[in-house]
Structure 1
Amino acid sequence: MDDQNKNLILATALSFAVILVWFLLFPPPEQDAADPNAAVATQQAPVTGTAPTVAPAGTATTATTAVAEAGADAPRLTIDTARLAGSISLKGGRIDELQLKDYRDTLDSNSGNVEVLAPLGSDHPYYALWGWAPGAGVGLDQVPGANTIWSLESGDTLSTDTPVTLTWDNGAGLTFRREMAVDENYMFSVRQSVQNNGSATVTLAPYGVIARHGEPQSDKSSPIVHKGSISMSDGELNETKYKKITKLDYNEREGSLAEVVQVTEAGWVGFTDHYWMSTLIPAAGTAFKSVVKYDETRDVYQTEAVLKTLTMAPGETIEADMRLFAGAKEWETIRTYEDEDNVTRFIDSIDWGWFFFFTKPIFWLLHTLNGLIGNMGWAIIGLTIVIKAIVFPLAYKSYASMAKMKELQPKMEEMKKAAGDDRQKVQQGMMELYKKEKVNPASGCLPLLIQIPIFFSLYKVISVTMELRQAPWLGWIRDLSAPDPSSILNLFGLLPFATPDQNSILAIISLGVLPILLGVSMWLQQKLNPAPTDPAQQMIFAWMPWVFMFMLGSFASGLVLYWITNNTITFIQQYSIMRFHGFKPDVFGNIKSSFKRKKPADK
């Protein structure tokens, strides 16, 4: 390979490193917030607790009781399924306590279960509730709110087999009921109904609210994962980080900082964390107002789904259905809700990133292999083999071209000697030689270029998908979504002291087994070719494997495992193809020469 080709490969490799670091330090920007002045079907009072705006006839104003009051709590109703544990507070009839039985906070067996929703009085209250916005003929104090004490009409425990019904009579002719059910996974169904026993026609608008007090603690290990509000509005995905929610424009209709979108056919709205999500889902085909807002006074983030206003004559009963997803963002589970329960584009609640056209099929393949093999680590190795097989035709042309250039090396050296210092003549002669021999000098870069989007996509998959969280491989690798826990500083566990904390500066040099194997695999791959003659290039090439070793050392073990496997397969492919085309790489000779001290006369 001539110096020009080496320069091209070097430039590509360094560009890859720069892009990678840039991507990590500066995640992709969010989409612009939706127009807060979008048309809405109802009006809503401020969340500051002031009196609601008087609504025109036939219109409803959302009750401003979404933010629950602190104080002694009411009796609770137990939630108990195979996958969920928690309770419903009869104060507000809100779901405000929910843990996931299948997931723990850490790998420690004594660690508690992951908490998705939390009640008032906890460090970060987070709950879902429902209600009715009052319209014509109904006062704000005549509809249930976050602090209304409900009565239990039927059922004593909410489970997959036993729904429950709550009831509340406003004493002015309206009886409110709330029927709640839950499936075998994470989906709650809530049917609200109102019976008009009075003598006047009234109008009401059903709504659902998810309220979150304060911004949740950030996950520093995953800076590229979206955390904040997420919504789907007639096929358009909207994501807004918590900090951006606090900078929304003031909306007079909502009485707070708010983003409002009118959904005409299908959508959902809620909050998403790294692996968990809570989402309000009106029935498909139902128009509703999707709201994301922030109450500066109480430091409360809130999402709402407000359905259209309903008119109810005396003696009539009206109903409204809405679902709540509150649980883990499992690909299989979410896909089932999308395909079988008609939740539009629910799979996009997983943050697939810019390269979603690569990320989605890569995860599908990884998930399929994991189902066949039963271990995510071996599935990553299998995925790497499949990807290398797919791009093999491209790699074959590249390595065959590199072998051909090795054959042309003597002719190029003669050309350089004949041209002397005339570099233009050398370049013209080389181009004619390449054309005559049908060799593409840039083909050596193609395998590396195709690896860039694949690498980013796999990095995204390992970073964001639930299935990689705490997934073991073998031995000491108990979580493929976390860095290799072993460390060279304690001789990989032989010395009796712990490894440095990830936030410590020593973590930079606390390399585990996998990062070291990564550096060695890159170094061996380099030895398929002699070191460049230019001293500057020689130094850069010599340091590159070890720079990547430290740079990728703190990445998820699954990603490092992929890169090691990729380097190993690349080495085998390149060595075999070059030998097939008549050039035998002197790997051991190149290794020996890299350790050989040069004499002054050789310089």
Structure 2
Amino acid sequence: MDDQNKNLILATGLSFLVILVWFVLFPPPMPETDPNAPAVVQTQDGATSTDIALLPPAAGDGSAAPADATAATTVPAAPRLPIDTPELEGSISLIGGRIDDLSLRGYFETLAEDSAIVRLLAPVGSADPYYALYGWAPGGDLGFDDVPGANTEWRVEQGEKLTPESPVTLVWENGKGLIFRRVISIDANFMFSVTQSVENTGAAAVRLAPYGIVARHGLPDDLQNFFILHEGVVRKVDGQLDELAYDDIPDLDVVAREGAAAEVVDVAANGWIGFTDKYWMTTLIPGADQPFSSVTKYVANADIYQTEARLPVMTVEAGQSASVTTQLFAGAKEWETIRNYQNAGGIERFLDSIDWGWFYFLTKPIFWLLHNLNVLIGNMGLAIIALTVIIKAVLFPLAYKSYASMAKMRELQPQMEKLKERVGDDRQKMQQEMMELYKREKVNPAAGCLPILLQIPIFFSLYKVIFVTLELRHAPFFGWLNDLSMPDSSSTFNLFGLLPWDAPEPTSILALIFIGVLPILLGISMWLQQKLNPQPTDPTQAAIFAWLPWVFMFMLGGFASGLLVYWIANNMITFAQQYIIMKRHGYTPDLFDNIRGSFQRKKPADK
């Protein structure tokens, strides 16, 4: 391999190394909570004052804004309706008819046997309130006391428990001729359907507008705050997917009337909006052809993030009724489940709620293939290895040309040595003569770098897939590798479990030093692959190449173990391919001699 080829590979490797160092040493800072932020005031019926202040503006006709709430020191217990499905458990509060208590039966906080299941939604008064709320905004001569909202106490008209087989119906009468009903149903997975209706038994027509809200008090405790992952608002507006991070929401334009930072976007059809976490999501979904206003909002003095779906104003004549149905997704971002909601349920681009990233054209097919391999094999670690084999097979034609070009370069070594002797120290003349030699012998000196360059986007795409997708969470491989989305839990700190103390936590700085089995295997596989080629004659290059496997071993030690499984398998397959191709081209790598040479001390040059 000539100097130009070595320099290109070296530059690629060092660039990648710089990126990795930056990721580890300079991650984005965690957001700080303002200790002086005012507390959320509670109302007498259990709602926060901001729940009322954050209601949509009145539905036209110059209606007044809602009045301030009366402060109270405690939140009274509200009647509740239980939720019981194969995937969810929780309850609905009759104060506001809030869906505010929801846990995911199939997912646990940790791998411990006594781990609690993941809680997605929580009511006001808990540590992290997060809930969905529905209501009506008044228009015309109506006031906020005439329509149901955050403070309304509903009564149960039908149903005792919300299950996939039994919807529930809530009812509230305003005492002035309007009867409001809310029918809530749920499927076997994570989708609620909420039908809001109003019956006008009065003598005059009324104007009012339905809405849905998802509110989150403060930032989530498990916020990753890592630039490779989107957390915050995710929405679709007329075919366009938009993402807004939590950090950006307080910087929205201030809406004077509502006293909050907000953004209002009109959607003609096929839209949805909500909050997405790494693995979980809560999303408001109006009907496919339903126009609405998509609202993102933040109230600083209460530290509440909020998304809204505001539907158009309805005019309900005397003696008539009106209704509207929206959906609420509240659950785990399972690829297959969300795909079914998109394809069979007609929710346009719902699969894009999973953060596929800039390389979506690679991450989507890579995950599709990985998912199907896992279904076929039944083990995610083996599926990653099978995926590696398929990727290497697809890239084999390029790899063959690369290694064949490298073999051809070795055949030219005697001519290159004679060329160096002839031109001496004239570098420009040397470059010109080398280019003529390559052209005459039909050799591309950069061909050896192409597979390496292609591996970089594939590596980052697989890293994205393993980091983001729920299917890798708590996915076991073999033995101690019980979560492929997390770093290798073994460690040299306790001699891989032989010593009676625990390994450092993955987030500890010690975990970067006392690495596990997989990082060590990665370093060895890179080192063996390097030994297929003789050491560079330039001492500086030789020293850098000798250290690279061990530097990468420590740098990648904190990466997800699934990614290391991929890279180890990739290195070993590359090793086998290169060895066989070189041998077919008449060059048998002296592997053992190269290994022995790396352990021999260099003799000082004669002066």
Task: List, as ranges, runs of 4+ consecutive aligned residues in structure 1 with deviation greater than 6 Å.
Answer: 45-48, 50-54, 59-69
Q: Which residue of 1 aligns with 2:43?
A: none
Q: Which residue of 2 aligns with 1:16?
A: 16
Q: Which residue of 2 aligns with 1:357?
A: 361
1:342 to 333, 339, 346: 346
| Deviation for aligned residue 1:413 | 0.8
2:260 to 256, 261, 274: 256
Change (3 A) 1:155 1:56: closer
Counterpart AA for 1:502: P
| Deviation for aligned residue 1:22 | 4.9
| Deviation for aligned residue 1:145 | 1.1
Q: Which residue of 1 aligns with 2:6?
A: 6
SS of the residue 1:553 aligns to: coil
Whether the 8 Å contact between 1:519 and 1:545 is mirrored in structure 2 is yes
| Deviation for aligned residue 1:56 | 4.2
Counterpart AA for 2:213: V
For residues 19-72 of structure 1, give each alpha carbon's deviation from its aligned partner in whole angstroms, at most 9, with x where no partner exists: 445567578xxxxxxxxxxxxxxxxx9967499967644x88897899998611
2-structure distance, mates of 1:594, 1:238: 53
1-structure distance, mates of 2:306, 2:586: 68
Change (3 A) 1:109 1:47: closer
1:425 to 404, 429, 434: 429
Counterpart AA for 1:393: P
- Name which of structure 1's ranges 466-475 and 423-432 shifts more when overlaid on structure 2: 423-432
Change (3 A) 1:601 1:277: same
| Deviation for aligned residue 1:557 | 0.3
Q: Which residue of 1 aligns with 2:140?
A: 136
Q: Which residue of 2 aligns with 1:402?
A: 406
Identity of aligned residues (%): 63
Whether the 8 Å contact between 2:27 and 2:226 is mirrored in structure 1 is no
1-structure distance, mates of 2:423, 2:528: 35
Whether the 8 Å contact between 1:105 and 1:113 is mirrored in structure 2 is yes
Whether the 8 Å contact between 2:489 and 2:506 is mirrored in structure 1 is no
Q: Which residue of 2 aligns with 1:187?
A: 191
Whether the 8 Å contact between 2:223 and 2:231 is mirrored in structure 1 is no
Counterpart AA for 1:464: V
Q: Which residue of 1 aligns with 2:327?
A: 323
| Deviation for aligned residue 1:221 | 8.6
1-structure distance, mates of 2:202, 2:141: 11
Q: Which residue of 2 aligns with 1:290?
A: 294
2-structure distance, mates of 1:179, 1:159: 13
For residues 81-132 of structure 1, give each alpha carbon's deviation from its aligned partner in whole angstroms, at most 9, with x where no partner exists: 1110000001111100000000000011110000010011211000001001
2:283 to 257, 279, 295: 279
2-structure distance, mates of 1:600, 1:67: 86
Q: Which residue of 2 aligns with 1:556?
A: 560
TM-score, length-scaled by structure 2: 0.93
Q: Which residue of 1 aligns with 2:75?
A: 71
| Deviation for aligned residue 1:220 | 4.2
Pairing 1:235–2:271 present: no
Change (3 A) 1:264 1:197: same
Counterpart AA for 1:118: A
Q: Which residue of 1 aligns with 2:93?
A: 89
Whether the 8 Å contact between 2:20 and 2:555 is mirrored in structure 1 is no
2-structure distance, mates of 1:514, 1:67: 59
| Deviation for aligned residue 1:394 | 0.6
For residues 464-515 of structure 1, give each alpha carbon's deviation from its aligned partner in whole angstroms, at most 9, with x where no partner exists: 0010000001111000000000001111001111011223221111211000
- Name which of structure 1's ranges 391-400 and 496-505 shifts more when overlaid on structure 2: 496-505
2-structure distance, mates of 1:554, 1:46: 42
Structure 1: runs of 5+ lacking an equivalent: 28-44
- Name which of structure 1's ranges 211-220 and 280-289 shifts more when overlaid on structure 2: 211-220
Change (3 A) 1:204 1:60: farther
2-structure distance, mates of 1:449, 1:68: 62
SS of the residue 1:600 aligns to: coil
2-structure distance, mates of 1:147, 1:479: 44
2-structure distance, mates of 1:26, 1:505: 13
SS of the residue 1:245 aligns to: helix
2-structure distance, mates of 1:153, 1:178: 10
Matches within 5 A, 1:166-245: 166-220=170-224, 223-245=227-249
Matches within 5 A, 1:495-506: 495-506=499-510
TM-align CA RMSD? 2.2
Whether the 8 Å contact between 2:192 and 2:329 is mirrored in structure 1 is yes
| Deviation for aligned residue 1:138 | 1.2
Change (3 A) 1:94 1:227: same
Whether the 8 Å contact between 1:338 and 1:346 is mirrored in structure 2 is yes
Change (3 A) 1:133 1:340: same
SS of the residue 2:529 aligns to: helix
Higher relative contact order at CA 8 Å, sep ≥6: structure 1 or structure 2? 1
1:108 to 107, 112, 120: 112
Pairing 1:514–2:495 present: no
SS of the residue 1:217 aligns to: coil
Q: Which residue of 1 aligns with 2:420?
A: 416
Whether the 8 Å contact between 1:268 and 1:281 is mirrored in structure 2 is yes
Counterpart AA for 1:559: L
2-structure distance, mates of 1:52, 1:102: 35
SS of the residue 1:397 aligns to: helix
| Deviation for aligned residue 1:303 | 0.4
Change (3 A) 1:65 1:366: farther
SS of the residue 1:323 aligns to: strand
| Deviation for aligned residue 1:193 | 0.4
Whether the 8 Å contact between 1:127 and 1:210 is mirrored in structure 2 is yes
SS of the residue 2:211 aligns to: strand
Pairing 1:387–2:391 present: yes
Whether the 8 Å contact between 2:217 and 2:305 is mirrored in structure 1 is yes
| Deviation for aligned residue 1:553 | 0.5
TM-score, length-scaled by structure 1: 0.93
Change (3 A) 1:252 1:266: farther
SS of the residue 1:212 aligns to: strand
SS of the residue 2:198 aligns to: strand
SS of the residue 2:251 aligns to: coil
SS of the residue 2:475 aligns to: coil
Pairing 1:438–2:431 present: no
Change (3 A) 1:191 1:156: same
For residues 339-368 of structure 1, give each alpha carbon's deviation from its aligned partner in whole angstroms, at most 9, with x where no partner exists: 011111000100001100100000001011
Q: Which residue of 1 aligns with 2:310?
A: 306
